[in-house]
Amino acid sequence: MRDLTEAQVAAGHSVGIVCDSTTGGDYEERLFEAMKDNLALGIHRTPMQRHVGPGDLASAWRTYRIIQELRPDVLHGHGAKGGAYARLFGSLLRVSRSRVARLYSPHGGSLHYDETTATGKLFFGLERSMARFTDCLLFVSDYERQTYRRKVGEPPIPNTLVYNGLRTAEFEPVATAADAADLLYIGMMRDLKGPDIFIEALALAGNALGRPLSAVMVGDGDDLPRYHVQVERLGLKSHVRFLPPMPARQAFALAELIVVPSRAEAMPYIVLEALAAGMPMIATAVGGIPEIFGEDSPALIRPDAVQLAARMGTALDAFDAYRRLMPQTDELKARFGADVMAAEIEKAYFAALQK
């Protein structure tokens, strides 16, 4: 979102953000603070619960009043809740205005539901009904587009694939610190992202290599205390350092090899950021991650601790050779540059406005 808004502002557009105020921490607050002076339509944060519940009516009303006052030409909703608000409120604004483009980017969230369950059927039925209020669907990975087709159905409206993009500065290599650890996990501390897989694999790989491996784990989340307990139970307390959220490139300098052990993903920015910074990685072949590496990349594994441990050993044993297996910078820039992303999204905005 930050990279996209920066590119849109640079292109001369007036941009604003409306988002939840109950998630995130000090790091996210600093990011918003750094952005706010550049956004002509400002940053507006209001409580929005992730799941459907009784608080949605009040949240929807507050959000609608904000959007009504901003009077945007384009509403681009991200995720199920943001997508519903953007499309419903954009439709309401059309009652008093000639045109508001309503775009929706489906992300993990509701697409993770099993389409055979009652909950899945409910959510995917709602997604199908919302198509009449949608001018364009923007997918961040082909994985999400195919998942949408399988679970919701073939979209009866324009839809396109636009990969997430990075700014030019993010393609500068990051130098690792002199005291860098062997391995880095960076992300939310929740089982969906696989910190427990990372910790178990760390112990297995250390035993196989005959030496304890050192690791840094950066992030926060409700499950964090469980991972502290797991580290202590496996005898890794003196080899694993937990740190709070920080800028990704700052974290990259803390270790030689980055691991993304997620059980499910859409198109994770952290993978793009790490590769753009010249960092070697191991990642699970879930969601859109294989679209970044290529299906046959040796960097890809299943979300399995035994397989991850084996790959850790292989990578650390022949580190320079393993680093050379990563995607090349020029290829990454051509596919995942912020300028490419912003240009494609701008094209979708103008097409939606002309419908």
Domains and their CATH numbers in the chain = 2-165+337-353 (3.40.50.2000), 169-335 (3.40.50.2000)
- Mean pLDDT computed over 116-132: 91
Q: How far apart are CA 243 and CA 226, in angstroms?
A: 15
Q: CB neighbours of 61 closer than 8 A, spacing ≥ 6? A: none
Q: What is the pLDDT of residue 108?
A: 66
What average pLDDT does the structure give for the chain?
93
* More confidently predicted of 101 and 47: 101
- Mean pLDDT computed over 286-313: 96
Helix (H, G, I), strand (E, B) or coil at 25: coil
The token pair that represents 170 in the structure block? 């993010």
C-alpha dihedral sign at 189, 190, 194, 198: positive
Distance (Å) of CA 200 to CA 7, 197, 218, 306, 307:
40, 5, 17, 8, 11
Q: What is the pLDDT of residue 96?
A: 78
- How does residue 109 score in pLDDT terms, banded at 50, 70 and 90? low
Q: Assess contact for 254 and 242: CB atoms under 8 A.
A: no
Residue 242 has pLDDT above 80, yes or no: yes
Q: Between vectors from CA 281 to CA 279 and to CA 287, what angle results, nearest 5°?
A: 125
Q: How far apart are CA 176 and CA 273, in angstroms?
A: 15
pLDDT digits (tens, 9 = 90+) for 169-216: 999 999 999 999 999 999 999 999 999 999 999 999 999 999 999 999
Q: What is the pLDDT of residue 48?
A: 86
The token pair that represents 200 in the structure block? 């178990």
- Mean pLDDT computed over 267-283: 96
The token pair that represents 175 in the structure block? 């130098």
Q: How far apart are CA 339 and CA 170, in angstroms?
A: 13
- This prediction has a pTM of 0.84
Amino acid at 233: R
pLDDT digits (tens, 9 = 90+) for 71-97: 999 999 998 889 999 999 999 998 877
pLDDT digits (tens, 9 = 90+) for 20-62: 998 878 888 888 999 999 999 999 999 887 777 777 889 999 9
Q: What is the pLDDT of residue 249?
A: 97
